[in-house]
Amino acid sequence: MDNKLAEALVLKGVLPVGTEVKARHKVMGLGSVNNVSVVDNFSITGSVIREDGRVQFKLADLRCGNPSSAYAEDVQEIDGMDPVRFASVYNITAAGDKAVLGKRRGRKPKNRVVED
């Protein structure tokens, strides 16, 4: 996920505590091989926008609850959706800007006046 998109989602408040994400993180592999990168499912426990502008998520593993952290670039899915598609639900573009809404289509509702 792009850092500007993550910042827009965090500032809008659409990534509350408990949101499930699929993120890449580093673990120790078999035979003490360090820094093996794997993708796992996590629950967000907090988010921080650091001084350098990067968004860091505090995470908890869904299987065992182990704490971890990941940057916005490491997040691959939010609630089972691509981050760009997730953001489009809240009218946010892939660049983190507000989306321009098009003309509404369909029937216009009739205004009914109720008289007693």
Q: How far is CA 90 from CA 34, 103, 111, in A?
A: 39, 17, 28
Residue 114: pLDDT above 70?
A: no
Classify burial at 39, counting beta carbons within 10 Å of its beta carbon; exposed 0-12, middle 13-18, buried 19 or more.
Answer: exposed
* Structural domains of the chain sorted by starting position, each given as residue range(s) with its CATH number in brackets: 16-79 (2.30.30.140)
pLDDT at 113: 67
Mean pLDDT of the chain: 88
pTM: 0.77
User: For 29-78, what is each residue's pLDDT tens digit?
Assistant: 777 777 888 899 999 999 999 999 899 999 999 999 899 999 999 999 99
pLDDT of residue 102: 74
